[in-house]
Amino acid sequence: MARISESTVRRLSHYYRVLEEVAAEGKRMISSRRLAEREGITSAQVRKDLSYFGSFGRRGLGYSVQHLREEIGAILGLDRRWKVVVVGAGNIGSALLSYGGFAEQGFDVVAVFDQDPRRIGQRIGGFEVLDTAKLAELTRARGADIGVIATPARGAQAVAEALVAAGVRGILNFAPRKLFVADDVPVRTVDMTMEFESLSFALTQARSPRRRRSGRDTA
Amino acid sequence: MARISESTVRRLSHYYRVLEEVAAEGKRMISSRRLAEREGITSAQVRKDLSYFGSFGRRGLGYSVQHLREEIGAILGLDRRWKVVVVGAGNIGSALLSYGGFAEQGFDVVAVFDQDPRRIGQRIGGFEVLDTAKLAELTRARGADIGVIATPARGAQAVAEALVAAGVRGILNFAPRKLFVADDVPVRTVDMTMEFESLSFALTQARSPRRRRSGRDTA
């Protein structure tokens, strides 16, 4: 698994999205050029990526939309449903719950937890917010696969440990800190403050070449 | 600028956050060990990172919290205010606007746009939602530095182009597609669906070693 790079997986996600669009348009075949579109990927990269997974287009005809969609869907694990618990019903948690688009991709929210008494019992995006005190019991009972951590940094590590102990096998982390869990539990972290800081860094360096020179990374 | 890796910038963001915590606790000195904490970074890596930027701790004493905080803040561009426009006042946009924590880090929202008549005129997190028709005019007039794109995929490229034409110098993109802008305009993309798919991929591969073998990336 470690051999398939994160960037390959991201390209597969992209192809899958294009295939869904094209399927909705009623098209039956798709070219590597169309699959590459909008992502700055070359057609050659598309053909290379897909050949790894055993799928080969036919010259002049391209790939079968339905077949390729099923194939990539299976590789990405989108041919099944995933049970998701969301911990933290603040802004980020609420945004995720209100978005709704994840259910279409196979990600079903089975429980939402928060420890704030003002949030417990409320409904967000159709989901009732439950007391974090019940996290261990309900996460296990509902067979959650994926835990989304949308809590403040403080407490996120304890939540991660509780989720893994309750059977969660992967974590999507929005808390602004690194989480430590067993090596076989994949964690993906989305840190919006860091994204902003990465931008302000890039803009600052672009403005002051002096800093740019002094700040070179030899790595 | 290209020489400083994204991962170095992320570590600097992390150090900055720790320094703010420690400053709030009233501490004057900090060890490289404390700076490394929680991120799985070694003390040696901390010392290496900071030496690039000309900051050297004193053996047994560590680093001056105030000095290091100012220094890293300046490198990250957090010693000034950045003007941010947000395009798209749906769930993601609303989450960002309601979060409020960005202002503390120097990111001030100067305008929020949406094209949906039901959203225009509403207030979200204290900000009035303006008509996207005024985007070019107001983005320029308010001197925005950073544009946040929180629109659906369709339309995001046109918004990016309009923002850059109106003087925006960096983009944070939440729309699920790649954006093409001039090379000197940094773009950071946060794609939550892709994060979910990356997790389901990892969990699927962990379950079915057959796919794992056939899917190796030689890159």
Query: Where along chain A do its domains lie?
Result: 6-75, 82-193
Q: Which residues of chain B carry a pLDDT beneath 50?
A: 1-2, 209-219
Domain A6-75, architecture per CATH: Orthogonal Bundle (1.10)
Say yes or no to pLDDT of A210 above 50.
no
Mean pLDDT taken over chain A: 87
From residue A157, alpha-carbon distances to A72, A162, B20, B201 in Å are 33, 9, 20, 23
Pairwise CB contact (< 8 Å): B203 & A186: yes
What integer pLDDT is reported at residue B133 of this predicted model? 97
CB B89 within 8 A of CB B112: yes
Residues near B21 by Cβ (< 8 Å), separated by ≥ 6? none
Domain A82-193 has CATH 3.40.50.150: no
Helix (H) or strand (E) holding B129: strand B127-131
C-alpha to C-alpha distance for A26 and A138, rounded to whole angstroms: 42
Express each pLDDT in A66-114 by its tens digit. Answer: 999 999 999 999 999 999 999 999 878 887 887 767 788 899 999 999 9
What integer pLDDT is reported at residue A212 of this predicted model? 39
A-chain residue closest to B37, CA distance:
A178
Pairwise CB contact (< 8 Å): B217 & A3: yes
Residues near B107 by Cβ (< 8 Å), separated by ≥ 6? A196, A200, B81, B82, B84, B146
Say yes or no to pLDDT of A21 above 80.
yes
C-alpha to C-alpha distance for A56 and A62, rounded to whole angstroms: 8
C-alpha to C-alpha distance for A98 and A28, rounded to whole angstroms: 33
Q: Percent of chain A at pLDDT above 70? A: 92
Say yes or no to pLDDT of A152 above 90.
no
B-chain residue closest to A45, CA distance:
B219
Say yes or no to pLDDT of A219 above 70.
no
A3 to chain B: which residues are within 8 Å by CB?
Answer: 212, 215-217
What integer pLDDT is reported at residue A218 of this predicted model? 36
Express each pLDDT in B98-135 by its tens digit. Answer: 776 778 889 999 999 999 999 999 998 899 999 999 99
Higher per-residue pLDDT: A47 or A59 = A47
A195 to chain B: which residues are within 8 Å by CB?
Answer: 172, 188, 190
| Beta strands A187-189; A170-173: pairing state | parallel
Pairwise CB contact (< 8 Å): A199 & B188: yes
Pairwise CB contact (< 8 Å): A105 & B196: yes
What integer pLDDT is reported at residue A143 of this predicted model? 97
C-alpha to C-alpha distance for A188 and B182, rounded to whole angstroms: 29
| pTM of the predicted model as reported, rounded to 2 decimal places | 0.76
CA distance A63 to chain B (A): 19
Which CATH number applies to B6-76: 1.10.10.10, 2.40.50.140, 3.40.50.150, 3.40.309.10?
1.10.10.10
Helical spans, DSSP H, in chain B: 6-24, 32-36, 43-52, 65-76, 91-99, 101-104, 135-141, 156-165, 192-207, 209-214
Express each pLDDT in B150-163 by its tens digit. Answer: 998 889 999 999 99
